[in-house]
Structure 1
Amino acid sequence: MSFISPDAGTDRVFDNADSFAMVFDRTWKQLRASNSGEVGQEQHLEAVFEAMADHPFLISSPDMARQVAAFRIRLLELT
């Protein structure tokens, strides 16, 4: 599965944290809605990363991408 673009009208993504965060937020919410909270947060996070596996920032900076994801989860109170 490929990542979900932040804007359905474009497939422009960039190798930076901002682009990653926009795609992460949308992917998190879309996958969470389809799972109806059936999986735990860590399992859901791994599913999001799998869905975003071809995002340039996740490829080039996987550790930083995980930090950005953890920050987004805390900041937006994503559960």
Structure 2
Amino acid sequence: MDKRVVLFSTFFIILLVINSYIYRFIFKELIFTNIPVTWLDITNIMTILIYLIAIIPLTAFLSEKIVKSYLKEPR
């Protein structure tokens, strides 16, 4: 395997776990405690959509930037 692919996969998994915990904390502690019960279904759907549309691509973008800066760095 290429070094770049291994680094990207490693950073992607690590950052995805970190971003998921942060995302879960934000939604569980700050948003779900402040919404009425009738809005829970809509909020659950929005939570999943935001995760798929924003968090996963953001994690991939950050992983790619980290890999590029790591490989560009002179040794």
Which range, TM-score by smaller chain? 0.3 to 0.5
The structure that is helix-richer by fraction is 2
Q: Return the structure number with greater relative CO, CA threshold 8 A, min gap 6.
A: 2
